[in-house]
A = this chain, B = another copy of it.
Amino acid sequence: MKNVTIKDVAKAAGVSPSTVSRVISDSHRISKETKRLVRKTMKELGYHHNAIARSLVTQRTDTIGLVMARPTREAFANPFFSGIIQGIAAVTQKKHYSLLLSSTADYREEQEETIKLIRNRRVDGVILMSSRSNDELINQLVQYRFPFVLIGRCAEQEGIPTVNNDNIKDTYNIVKFLLERGYKKIAALSGPEEYIFCQDRAQGYRKALDELADTEPLIMFIDDFKFEEAYQGVLNYLKSGQMRFDAILAFDDMIALGALRAIQDYGFSVPEDIAVVGFNDDPMVSYIKPALTTIRLPIIKMGEEAAKMLIKILNDENYKGEEIILPTEMIIRETV
C-alpha cells in the first residue's frame, strides 16, 4: 500500500497540488465543480492527509502533552490521575486535538521530558500535574512563553494558568463541620509535606482550629499515600496513647481507609469512638462499610477545564489563561 499524496490526487484529477490543498481546507475561492472532482478523486485513490507534513509547514501539531511527574506506579494507583486523564481526553477528543501522554519516573525527568516535548515541537502546549513545587520548570516555561496549564497550585508565582480547588477553604470547612457536630479533638493525617496540596490542607486545618476551637493542631505525616503506611502510622499512634482524638481528617481517601482500619483493629468503632474523613471521593469508598465521609473533588472536571483552557490559550492570541478554582462537595456518609 503506497501512500497516496496530494500530488497523486492532483495528477489524477488534472489539477495542481495547491488546488487539492485548497479543497482539503475547503477554501471558498475554489469552484464547486473542481471541489467535487477533487473530492471524488481523493476518495477513489484513498487519500488521507499526512499530519506530519502539515505540521511541518503550519508549525502546529494540534497535540497537547500531559506530563505526570510521578512514578507511573504511584500515579496510576491513585484514581485521581485516571480522572484527570479522562477529563482531558474527553475534551481533546471533542476539539480534535491529540493527547500525548508522558509519565516520568521522577522530578528531574519531569523537567527534561517537558522541555524535550516542547523543544522538539511534538506538542503545542502541555498540561502539568506536578503537585510539588517545581519552580524551575515553571520558570522555564514562562520564559520560553510556552503555553501550559498547571493542575494544582503554583507555590512560588502568581498569575500562572491553573486549575485547582481551594484546599485551604475546603479543609477549613470540613473541620468547621466536624466541630459543629461536636467533635472536640480533630487530628489530621497528611501525606508528605512537599506536596503543595498537603501544605494547603494543613494550613486550612490549622486555621480552622485556631479560629474555631481551642485545641492544638495534631498532624501526623506519612511517607506515602498508601493504605499500609496510614494503617501503621495511625495504629502506632493509638498504641502510644500519647494523645487522644475523636476525629481524624485524612488528606486522601486511600490513607483514610488505612486509618479507618487501624482504628477498628485497635478496638475502637467508627464513627462512635472516632470519626474518619477522606479527600477525593474515589468511587470505591462509597461501597465499603462504613461508607466513607469525604470531600469530593471534581476531578474529571478539573481535567476538562485544564484542557479547555490550554486549547483556548493556543487559539486565542489575547487569552493568556486564568486561575480556575473549582468547588468541592462534602459527601457525608457513615464515618462521621
Contacts and interface: CB of A to CB of B under 8 A. Distances in A.
A50 B86 CA distance: 29
Copies of this protein, total:
2
B55 A287 contact: no
A168 B185 CA distance: 54
Contacts of A288: 284, 287-289
A261 B284 CA distance: 13
Contacts of A1: 144-145
Contacts of A221: none
Main secondary structure of the interface of A (DSSP, over half): helix
A63 B61 CA distance: 14
A72 interface: yes
Contacts of A261: 287
A56 interface: yes
Interface stretch (A118-126, A207-215, A273-281): A118-126
A53 interface: yes
Given A98-B102, A102-B99, A122 B86 contact: no
23 contacts: A48-B116, A48-B119, A50-B121, A52-B52, A56-B56, A63-B100, A72-B86, A73-B86, A73-B300, A76-B85, A76-B86, A77-B283, A79-B79, A79-B82, A85-B85, A85-B101, A86-B103, A89-B101, A98-B100, A98-B102, A100-B100, A257-B287, A289-B289
Given A52-B121, A72-B90, A257-B284, 15 more contacts: A1-B144, A48-B116, A51-B120, A52-B52, A72-B86, A73-B86, A76-B85, A76-B86, A77-B283, A85-B85, A93-B104, A99-B100, A100-B100, A261-B287, A288-B288
